[in-house]
Amino acid sequence: MKRWIVPILGILLIVGGVHSKSLEIKKKVGEYEVEVKLDRHPPVVGDNGIGIKITDGSGRAVTDARVLINYYMPPMPRMAPMNFKIEAKLKKERYMATMNLIMSGPWIIAIKIGRGEKNFTAKLNIDVP
């Protein structure tokens, strides 16, 4: 094996690992705990998977909710609004979706959850480098 291959492979493993971590955030909203997991940390321009687990006061997973994800950038002068909505689909005990973050900067994620007659929203801020 050539001597230069080993250092290059090491660099590729290090660089490849930069975006391999996930980001987990927990929020208490009303009587529920909402656990949000982004598949990339830091988030990247492009597709980012998001998984949301909702648990009730006794720690049981809530699987009968409607979950809408509204992600947007705060308004900026001379820029068109960037506001996107996607519906999350239940897979096992998590609501899953893919957000396409179209540019670097601050993003706000508002997770709108409806269950029966109750509606609540969990908000979090992320920054895309």
CATH code of residue 79: 2.60.40.2480
The tokens for 12 are 């590729």
Classify residue 77 by burial, with Cβ atoms within 10 Å: 0-12, 13-18, 19+. Answer: exposed
Residue 29's pLDDT band (boundaries 50, 70, 90)?
Answer: very high
Q: Is 12 contained in some domain?
A: no
- Average predicted confidence (pLDDT) for the chain: 88
Structural domain boundaries enclosing 84: 20-128
By C-alpha distance, which of 66, 71, 52, 53 is closest to 118? 66
Q: Does residue 10 lie in a domain region?
A: no
> Could you give the number of structural domains in the chain?
1
End-to-end CA distance of the chain: 37
> pTM here?
0.82
The whole-number pLDDT of residue 6 equals: 44
Kindly state whether residue 109 falls inside one of the protein's structural domains: yes
**Residue 76 binned pLDDT confidence (cut-offs 50, 70, 90):** confident
Q: What does the alpha-carbon distance between residue 112 and residue 123 come to, in Å, rounded to a whole number?
A: 9
d(CA 59, CA 57): 6
Q: What is the mean pLDDT of residues 69-81?
A: 91
- Give the integer Cα–Cα distance in Å for 38 and 21: 9
Give the residue with greater pLDDT, 76 vs 26.
26
Inter-CA distances, 121 with 14, 18, 34, 101, Å: 37, 31, 10, 20
For residue 48, being part of any structural domain is answered with yes
- Say if 39 falls within a structural domain: yes
Question: Where are the alpha helices (H) located in the chain, listed in sequence order?
Answer: 5-17
